[in-house]
Amino acid sequence: MRLNGVHIEDTFAEAFPMLGTRLIVTADTPAWAEAAVLSMTGFATSVIACGCEAAVERPLPPDETPDARPGAAVLLFAMSRAELAKQVARRVGQCVMTCPGTACYAGLRDGPAIPLGNALRYFGDGWQIAKRIGTRRHWRIPVMDGEFLCEATTAAVDGVGGGNFIILAADRRAGLAAAQAAVTAIRALPGAILPFPGGVVRSGSKIGGKYKGLIASTNTAFCPTLRGTAPVSLVPEGVESILELVIDGVSAEAVAAAMRAGIAAVAGLGAAGGVVSVTAGNYGGKLGRYQFRLHEVMA
Amino acid sequence: MSGVVLTPREPAGPPIDMTGVLPERLAEGGRDALAGAMPVRGRERHRLDALFTLQDGGPSGTLILRPGAAVLDGVGTGMSAGDILVEGDCGAYAGSGMSGGSLTVEGRCGAFAAAEMAGGRLRIAGDAGDFLGAPLAGGTRGMSGGSVTVAGSAGDRVGERMRRGLIAVHGRVGSLCGARMIAGTIVVGAGCGPGLGQAMRRGSILLSQALEAVPPGFVDGGMNDWLFLELMRRELTVGGAWPAGFPAVGTRARRLVGDRSVGGMGEVLILLKA
């Protein structure tokens, strides 16, 4: 398949089931809401070493938040319900509750409950107050600037982690421009996030390595500098830079939609923009439950 | 299937205890089953259709009561689902022990409305009597869930021993509002009588008018912003329970904490207009 002169390889992205949740963080100003969620989603690029994958889904205007203040929606994904609960409690406790003026609410309703305020209320040292408003229970935890208002629980959904596509570009500048175009397109969509810095990965990995105990090591087949020396190289002539976008979503449909939007944005720059081809990362289909075939996604 | 309209055949006479005349009965067995209910009038039980005329009318599954001059006690007592609309006044015990469904009273209610209520929704367009949302006589647990909205005023001991849920009174309340309250929320649109929150342990009482003095046993926690009030206002505004006299914006309130004489951490929040 060719789109605007860009070769779309006939391959698939292999993705995995993850548990995810959405949180709504609000604050007095957009800047403080941003400060809270950037802190909360920091060091959350890969479950391999971070415990979870998380990113800001989108900023929220006051008319879309429960308390009529500016905020942001955040998606977090982990490999198990217990790990998701642990990460939610730690990150909200250390990064949101600590941030001046913030409040935190569940962004999903249906699904198994994940403790949110229920896990943080003990910080109130007995002075915390439960308040049911409508059908939703909240905790009011006294803090030094007033009260930290936090919904009691959020919900976990069966999400998908590891959706991806890989951009092969003529040089680093062209690759980065293509990746940024894809990031912009994907961030406009609901239900999916790009957990890596700026939404882009430059150090894609393969499973294991030559050193004992290594979980993952550099993806030698896609390292342009190893063409000719690595046992296997998938870097074609004329490609100097390769970047990957990893996508987590609340559903397979959300991941597919994000891949479609991202690849379309990359193809929009075309061969004239220095984009050579688009491929995807997989493990031969043996590890992940989900396979996103690029040709089907772009059909 | 339409709803059923009940009109007393003889409005004059002793009160009629409507316990057991519920929309669940209509939903399960139809109009015949409803007609077989045996409300009490005076000292005797009567078939419902001996005391009332039954006519089709209203939305499906809804009971519509047109009491006229009759006194109907226990309307919606023990109700768990469905809708009751009372086109007039209710006697005592309206919605007592209710656990679900919706009871709407277009007139006034007597004492013990929503007493020991556990769920559902009670809306009263007029005034309510004493013991709104309180325990029944001899009981130790007040309202434990659901919501009550009173567009008029209410009597003494509103929300006494309340454990959960919401009571919103747009007008005044009498003495001992929220006495021995354990949790839940009471919203009072106008003034309140003496003994506010006496011996309350937890829970919130929201006022929009400053008190002449801090109630005995309470301490002044000062002014602050209370974000949960925004959520509360949004929720109650949609249901028509946010009193007109309450601020439409802003979350500032003065907080009184008590009743400290019993180690209580309940709160009286006096909302200020922005």
Averaged pLDDT, B79-102: 96
Average pLDDT, chain A: 96
For A:53-92, CB contacts with B below 8 A are 66-68
Give pLDDT, residue B274.
57
Distances (CA, A) of A292 to A13, A249, B122, B248: 5, 13, 52, 50
**Residue B78's closest CA among B136, B128, B164?**
B136
Residue B174 has pLDDT above 60, yes or no: yes
Task: Sort B197 into a burial class: Cβ within 10 Å, 0-12 / 13-18 / 19+.
Answer: buried
| Chain-chain contact of A103 with B227 (C-beta, under 8 angstroms) | yes
Question: pLDDT for B34-87, tens place per residue?
Answer: 888 888 998 899 999 999 999 998 898 899 999 999 999 999 999 999 999 999
pTM: 0.91
Question: pLDDT for A155-180, tens place per residue?
Answer: 999 999 999 999 999 999 999 999 99
Chain A contact set for B234 (CB, 8 A):
66, 68
Task: Write out the DSSP string of A135-202.
Answer: TEEEEEEEETTEEEEEESEEE-EEEEEEEEEEEEESSHHHHHHHHHHHHHHHHTSTTEE--SGGG-BS
| Chain-chain contact of B231 with A67 (C-beta, under 8 angstroms) | yes
Averaged pLDDT, A61-73: 97
Question: Is the omega angle on the peptide bond into residue B259 within 30 degrees of 0, that is, cis?
Answer: yes
Residue A203 has which token pair? Answer: 């150090």
Whether residue A140 lies within 8 A of chain B, CB to CB, comes out as yes
Residue B7 has pLDDT above 80, yes or no: yes
Handedness of CA A185, A187, A190, A193 (dihedral sign): positive
**Residue B211's closest CA among B225, B191, B226?**
B191
Averaged pLDDT, A36-52: 95
Q: What is the 8-class DSSP label of residue A93?
A: I
One-letter amino acid at A187 equals R
Distance from CA of A152 to the nearest CA of B (A): 13
Distance from CA of A59 to the nearest CA of B (A): 20
d(CA A113, CA A153): 6
Residue A230 has pLDDT above 90, yes or no: yes
For A:103-132, CB contacts with B below 8 A are 103, 127, 129-132
| Chain-chain contact of B231 with A138 (C-beta, under 8 angstroms) | yes
| Chain-chain contact of A66 with B202 (C-beta, under 8 angstroms) | no
| Chain-chain contact of A129 with B224 (C-beta, under 8 angstroms) | no
Chain A contact set for B224 (CB, 8 A):
146-147
Give pLDDT, residue A283.
83
Residue A141 has pLDDT above 60, yes or no: yes
- Measured in whole angstroms, the distance separating CA B43 from the mean position of its chain's CA atoms is 28
Give pLDDT, residue B1.
67
d(CA A94, CA A44): 14
Of the candidate ranges A218-227, A289-298, B50-59, the one whose mean pLDDT is the lowest: B50-59
Parallel/antiparallel/unpaired status of strands B62-65 and B83-86:
parallel
- The full set of domains in chain A, from first to last, is 2-14+159-297 (3.30.70.520), 19-157 (3.30.70.520)
Task: Sort A219 into a burial class: Cβ within 10 Å, 0-12 / 13-18 / 19+.
Answer: buried
Averaged pLDDT, A228-247: 95
| Chain-chain contact of B230 with A68 (C-beta, under 8 angstroms) | yes
- The full set of domains in chain B, from first to last, is 1-70 (no CATH), 74-271 (2.160.20.60)
